[in-house]
Amino acid sequence: MGIFSKKNKTNKRGGKQLSESLRDEKLKSSLIINNIDDAVVLVDSSNIVQTFNPAAGALTGWSQEEAIGIDYRSVIKLADDKGKPYPDSNHPFYKVFIGKKTIRDSQATIITRDNRLLAVDISVSPLIDSGNLVSGAIGVLRDVDEQRKEEKQRADFISTASHEMRTPVAAIEGYLALAMNDKVSQIDTKARSFLEKAHASTEHLGKLFQDLLTSAKAEDGRLTSHPEIIELVSYTEKLVEDLKFSAEKKELSLNLIKGSKDATITPLLYTKIDPDRLREVITNLFDNAVKYTDSGGIKIGITGDLNVVQFSIADTGPGIPREDIPHLFQKFYRVDNSATRTVGGTGLGLFISRKIIEMYGGKIWVESELNKGSTFYINIPRINSQQASAELKAKTEETPKLSQTKTV
Ligand code: ADP
């Protein structure tokens, strides 16, 4: 219950109670602000710091007296993880004043007064006045330096370990394949069945190491990317040709649907993306569709509007329970039902797919109905044909020059 909801018996007494409670509330607020571990910074609409708690002082190296009354950009200097200062337009306070919405940046680094870099998690919220204008912004910064260092160490360990383990696993897989090859070795049926099981497990282990390595790289932004302009309709036609074989093996139909239902001609859909990374994502969604679908078929769709190209991969499989959908794109998440218990997997494919699609400013999601099937969607930014041809032309003009310099 708020302080104003208390019933006051007399005006005089009521007035006294009110001011006491107000004083109490003010005292409580300042007690909290001055004693919490997180840095709290209040900035007014002229970009001037109005409140700067002791934790903000400890984090930034600026004292309260110095910070209050000056421009926030002088005391809350942010940079990316490589220490490159944010341009003003990327500063969460600036974004809040422009966009009137809370901004959270969990990957920021603060440059302290003595030029040290500290990893911080920053969240800035607007203070909206009765005229719907932003009268100020309140930022809360948390020092996550230790935490981020530990995360990095963990990711480095996973990268190195999975990289080192992949090599012997590949060798085991190769030798097992040789042992099962009639042309090079003779084994009886019993031995063959054991080796087949060993081979399947080794394959799974190899995939797990590969996925671990890719997801560790995706997490700390080390995934390689060579984006180029590609026309996605012809790209998808070729890709679907390559995928046909694994659908046929399971007696599932595979159809490509181009453009919207009522369109007679499919427009050219250009984007700028690394074709190998996009193939990785679509193949992963397609492999899942095949893996989890026992009968029926898979439809791969490609369509778009002025700004977006949309892929869809629809199956007639078991569907995904509603409560699992929000977690599906998290690391190691697997739906716990009979379908996934019997079908092998790492729970990393969708996590990696999301990271890749987000790397290109896109979005990935799923819609699903139990016992009917699932459709995974990918939206990626589209670029118009003129822009695409201009970039392609610039590239072809550049290539001969480059090869000339090489031969000189
Ligand atoms: P996994 O290696 O387990 O397939 P993914 O990250 O690719 O890992 O998928 C996560 C989980 O999402 C799967 O374990 C499965 O439960 C569910 N899933 C993904 N695709 C489908 C699909 N097409 N139909 C039903 N369930 C799916």
Between the CA of 380 and the centroid of ligand 1 the distance, in Å, is 22
Residue 17 lies in a domain: no
pTM for the full predicted model: 0.71
Residue 104 falls inside a structural domain: yes
Task: Report how far residue 145's alpha carbon sits from residue 118's, in angstroms, rounded to the nearest whole number.
Answer: 6
Residue of 346 and 264 predicted with greater confidence: 346
pLDDT tens per residue, range 377-398? 999 999 988 888 888 888 777 6
User: Which 3-state string (H, E, C) describes 318-369?
Assistant: CCCCHHHHHHCCCCCCCCCCHHHHHCCCCCCHHHHHHHHHHHCCCEEEEEEE
Name 12's Cβ contacts closer than 8 Å, sequence gap at least 6: none
Mean pLDDT of the chain: 88
208 with 272, same domain: the answer is no
Residue with the smallest CA separation from ligand 1 atom 11 is 334
Cα of 369 from ligand 1 centre, angstroms: 14
- Domain of 196 in residue numbering reads as 148-219
Q: List, as one string, the DSSP characters of 148-181.
A: HHHHHHHHHHHHHHHHHHHHHHHHHHHHHHHHT-
Kindly report, residue by residue over 274-298, the tens digit of the pLDDT: 999 999 999 999 999 999 999 999 9
**336 alpha carbon – ligand 1 mean position (Å):** 10
Residues with CB under 6 A from ligand 1: 288-289, 292, 315, 317-318, 320, 328, 333-335, 340, 345-351, 374
pLDDT at 406 over 70: no
Considering the domain architecture, whether residues 299 and 378 belong to the same structural domain is answered as yes
**Last residue in a domain, options 79, 110, 143:** 143
**Range with lowest mean pLDDT among 76-80, 115-119, 337-341:** 337-341
* 42-49 mean pLDDT: 96
Mean pLDDT across 247-267:
84
Are 255 and 385 contained in the same domain? yes
* 16 found inside a domain: no
Same domain, 46 and 126: yes
What's residue 159's pLDDT? 85
User: What gap in Å lies between CA 277 and CA 300, rounded to an integer?
Assistant: 17
Taking the centre of ligand 1 as the mean of its atom positions, its distance from the CA of residue 320, in whole angstroms, is 9
Residue 300 located in a structural domain: yes
Half-sphere exposure of 93 (CA within 13 A, CB side): 28
Which of 165, 144, 163, 207 is CA-nearest to residue 352? 207
Residue 315 lies in a domain: yes
Q: At what angle are helices 232-249 and 275-292 packed, to 10 degrees?
A: 30
pLDDT of residue 221: 79
Q: ∠343-349-350 over CA atoms, to 5°?
A: 110
Residue 377 Cα distances to 170, 234, 300, 303, 357, angstroms: 33, 19, 10, 11, 11
* C-beta separation of 351 from 329 below 8 A: yes
Q: Kindly report the protein residue whose alpha carbon is nearest to atom 16 of ligand 1.
A: 335
For residues 294 and 364, membership in a common domain is answered with: yes
pLDDT of 268: 85
Q: Ligand 1 centre and the CA of 288: distance in Å? A: 6
Which tokens go with 295?
Answer: 């009968």
What per-residue confidence (pLDDT) applies to 279? 97
> pLDDT class for 340, splitting at 50, 70, 90?
low
- Over range 77-100, report the average pLDDT: 91
Instruction: Ligand 1, residue 352: give the atom nearest the CA.
Output: 6
Residue that is written with structure tokens 């007014």 in the block: 44
pLDDT at position 382: 94
Same domain, residue pair 243 and 388 = yes
Within a domain: 77: yes
Q: Give the whole-angstrom CA distance, residue 91 versus residue 141.
A: 13
Given this model, what pLDDT does residue 407 score? 36
Nearest to 230 by CA among 157, 188, 279, 194: 279
Which carries the bigger pLDDT value, residue 398 or residue 153? 153
Q: Are 261 and 365 within one domain? A: yes
Tell me the CATH number at 165. 1.10.287
Atom of ligand 1 nearest to the CA of 346: 2
E strand or H helix at 397, and its extent? Answer: helix 385-407
Q: Using the atom order of ligand 1, give the atom closest to the CA of residue 347.
A: 8
What pLDDT band is residue 219 in, cutting at 50, 70 and 90? confident
**220 vs 148: CA distance, rounded Å:** 10
Q: pLDDT tens digits, residue range 155-181?
A: 888 888 888 998 899 999 999 999 999
**Residue percentage of the chain with pLDDT more than 70:** 90
Q: How buried is 393 (Cβ within 10 angstroms: 0-12 exposed, 13-18 middle, 19+ buried)?
A: exposed
CB 292 within 8 A of CB 317: yes
pLDDT at 14 over 70: no
Q: What is the DSSP letter of 91?
A: -
Domain end, chosen from 143, 166, 186, is at: 143
Q: Name which residue sits closest to atom 23 of ligand 1, judged by CA.
A: 289
- Asked whether the predicted pLDDT for residue 252 surpasses 80, the reply is yes
User: Which CATH number is 83's domain given?
Assistant: 3.30.450.20
User: What value does the mean pLDDT take over residues 62-90?
Assistant: 92
Q: Do 310 and 378 touch, CB atoms closer than 8 A? A: yes
Q: Where residue 368 sits, what CATH number does that domain have?
A: 3.30.565.10
Q: Is residue 408 part of a domain?
A: no
Ligand 1 mutation pick, 215, 252, 285, 292, max ligand atoms within 8 A of CB: 292
Residue nearest to atom 4 of ligand 1 (CA): 345
129 and 183 inside one domain: no
Distance between CA atoms of residues 51 and 73, nearest Å: 14
**Is-contact 65 44, C-beta < 8 A?**
no
For the chain, the domain total comes to: 3
Residues 105 and 152 in one domain: no
Evaluate whether residue 382 is within a structural domain.
Answer: yes
Tell me, in angstroms, the distance from the centre of ligand 1 to residue 304's CA. 26
Q: Are residues 300 and 337 in the same domain?
A: yes
Q: Do residue 138 and residue 155 come from a single domain?
A: no
Q: What pLDDT is stored for residue 400 in this prediction?
A: 56
> Which pLDDT score is estimated for 18?
64
Same domain, 243 and 344: yes
Tell which atom from ligand 1 comes closest to the C-alpha of 333.
10
> What's 90's DSSP letter?
G
Ligand 1 atom nearest the C-alpha of 317 is 24
